[in-house]
Chains A and B, each alone.
Chain A
Amino acid sequence: MALAKITEVRGRAVHVPGDDIDTDRIIPARFMKCVTFDGLGEFLFYDVRKNADGSDKPHPLNDPKHAGATVLVSGANFGCGSSREHAPQAIYRYGFRGVVAESFAEIFFGNCTTLGIPCFSVSRADREALAALLAADPQAEVTMDVEKLEVRCAGKTFKASLRDSAHKGLVTGQWDPIGELLEGAPQIAKVASGLAYV
């Protein structure tokens, strides 16, 4: 399947501080009562963004200075917990096209990659420095350079890491594996026939 090569994400960014931000927080369970992913964007971080009456709580995503941000910046072990793809879907549908964090939970990372959302890991010090730049100038443009694995902002460059397979998949436009998996049909049949329980 021909897909866009994702070599760069560029735009404004918003910092959502905290470690171990789980997928329940990214999209609370009650919003998963749906049979499509449409409309999930509006429920992103709902319970930490909204009061019970629907009014806004203080939250970086509610700050008009960050409206239209396409890069999400956060702490360690981002996306832990449930395997729900609803979480990256909500992030994408809200308008984010890349995530920069100290580290990611594995299922979340895989889900994001398959949707073409690069997830860059940076050091704690670099995350804090990036957050400080965004606090000083919320309009600053951030570039996630997927080819060079760098985050650039306000003249500063931060080194990022990305698992090799994700890196390759994104820059070659092979981030959704379905086409390649289907091409393996003959080999799939061979493996299946060798498994006594299948």
Chain B
Amino acid sequence: MGKTLFQKVWDAHAVRTLSNGQTQLFIGTHLIHEVTSPQAFGMLRDLGLKVAFPHRTFATVDHIVPTDQFAEPYRDPLAQAMMDELRKNCAEFGVTFFDRATGKQGIVHIVGPEQGITQPGTTIACGDSHTSTHGAFGAVAFGIGTTQIRDLLATQTMAIGPLKVRRIQVDGKLLPGVYAKDVILHIIRVLGVNGGTGYAYEYAGEIFDGFSMEERMTVCNMSIEGGARVGYVNPDETTFQYLKGRPYAPKAAEWEAAVTRWRSFASDPDATYDDVVHIRGEDIPPTVTWGINPGQGISIDENVPSVETASESEKASVAEALEYMKLEPGAPIKGTKIDVAFMGSCTNGRYSDFVEVARYLAGRKVAPGVKAIAVPGSQGVAAILKEKGIDRVFAEAGFEWREAGCSMCLAMNPDKLVGDQLCASSSNRNFKGRQGSPTGRTILMSPLMVAAAAVEGRVSDAREVFGIHELATA
């Protein structure tokens, strides 16, 4: 009987069974950042322990870095203290740190793939729930807490139980103007925000086969928003092409051996799954959220739900979401006035996201009264966009072009919503207060829909705004 990629990777990394029945799992790559690691290093010191595999641990700084200020000290002394702490910890314990001066700094889930650290058939963990992103490469990648970071630093292993595997197969074709972000928002809408509890999501089928690595990362990134602990796509030629020549990818003679090994980790054709879900690509609309969790999404053409039309079990959460979002029940979501447009984050702050938006944004202007910010996910992304003049397209349209970081996705840096501002956002979470204001409101959407909202000043259908229907049928 065939095995899934998840099972193969698990078996290759299982150290032993612990007394509570969990598995001690070896984690080949540990990624760390400034927010969730300082306490773990503190615990390590308290226990008098060292980092067991410093060469398999990589750090960067992303959440707290200001996007409008490169030089230190930062205006926010707390942010500076976290920066100093990470720098000190990495130096003391011998961990590679992609500090800003290296030119390799950025959001941890963008830097890992960009450097070629993220590889198929490996296990990866990071103190950040969006570690699921790395599954795009056929890695099994877990978001973890700080005590587990301590465990990893000390032993390169963690205690964890196995997961079931759900294959989510999306076949057919995507309609013009529909992107990876719409695919994952649709999946979460269909399966629910806790539908993935206990599961790894394997994304398969024609749509994912045809996706670029960056599109696969967008989908895997939001697996956690569907409650799945990990999400992955089986490695293929697209994966290998992306990795070839990257700084940490295998070189020369080692390359072919690595590709052969990576290929062997893909799920077998006769693998058995705990669950299989089929979705047709044509059924996926441009999707936007209207509520306070990523599962509360609707097509751009749909109306905001009302309490009356919600199912019995959802009435309370629909009422709570409507009250917080201050949206009119039953009214179209399209046309909702926005205050802020945010383009960036570990979900959609990659090179191709900006390139795709720039195709349509060129020659357009951000609507008066809208604050629009564009934040590349890494210094690497920023550099290549600058080289190609993409930054200027955004700037000329009226976007503020910023330095790399997490920025307004969770607003631990100075980029925040104010009051009850409504933000069209390419990020991953629309939770209450997520973007820095306790009453701030977030509507999640694809980068192109963010651009459409920015130029119209309202939640809009990018296909109409940018004439994508016509292009597709011309």
Contact = CB atoms under 8 A, between A and B. Distances in A.
Interface of A: 17-20, 22, 24-25, 28-30, 32-37, 47-48, 52, 76-77, 80-86, 88, 103, 105-107, 110-111, 114-115, 163-166, 168-169, 172, 174, 176-178, 180-182, 184-185, 187-188, 191-192, 194-198
Contacts of A191: 13-15, 26
Contact of B122 (A33, A114, A197): A197
> Which 6 residue pairs of A and B lie closest in terms of their CB atoms, listed nearest first?
A85-B145, A111-B145, A47-B438, A35-B38, A85-B146, A33-B78
Interface residues of B, number: 81
Interface string B18-32: 111110101010000
Given A18-B320, A35-B81, A25 B151 contact: no
A184 B21 CA distance: 15
Contacts, number: 211
Contacts of B224: 81, 107
B194 A178 contact: no
A2 to B, nearest CB: 14
A105 B294 CA distance: 14
Interface string B257-299: 1100100000000000000000000000000000011000000
Contacts of B81: 35
A81 B226 CA distance: 9
Interface of B: 12-16, 18-22, 24, 26, 28, 35-36, 38-39, 42, 47, 49, 52-53, 56, 63-64, 76, 78-79, 81-82, 85, 119, 121-122, 127-129, 131, 143-148, 150-151, 154-161, 193-194, 197-198, 224-225, 227, 229, 250, 257-258, 261, 292-293, 316-317, 320, 410-412, 429, 431-434, 436, 438
B21 A168 contact: yes
Contacts of B49: 182
Contacts of B38: 35-36
B155 A188 contact: yes
B161 A163 contact: yes
Nearest to B49: A182
B62 to A, nearest CB: 13
A178 B12 CA distance: 22
A127 B253 CA distance: 60
Contacts of B82: 33-35
A41 to B, nearest CB: 15
A76 B129 CA distance: 19
12 contacts: A28-B433, A30-B411, A30-B436, A33-B412, A81-B224, A83-B144, A85-B127, A110-B148, A165-B22, A166-B20, A196-B261, A197-B28
B156 A178 contact: no
Q: Give the most central of A28, A172, A187, A197: most B CB within 10 Å.
A: A197
Contacts of A30: 411-412, 436
B127 to A, nearest CB: 6
B436 A29 contact: yes
Contacts of B47: 178
B229 A107 contact: yes
B28 A195 contact: yes
Contact of B42 (A18, A22, A35, A111): A35
A69 to B, nearest CB: 22
B145 A106 contact: no
Contacts of B320: 18
Contact of B129 (A36, A83, A103, A178): A83
A80 B293 contact: yes
A39 B364 CA distance: 48
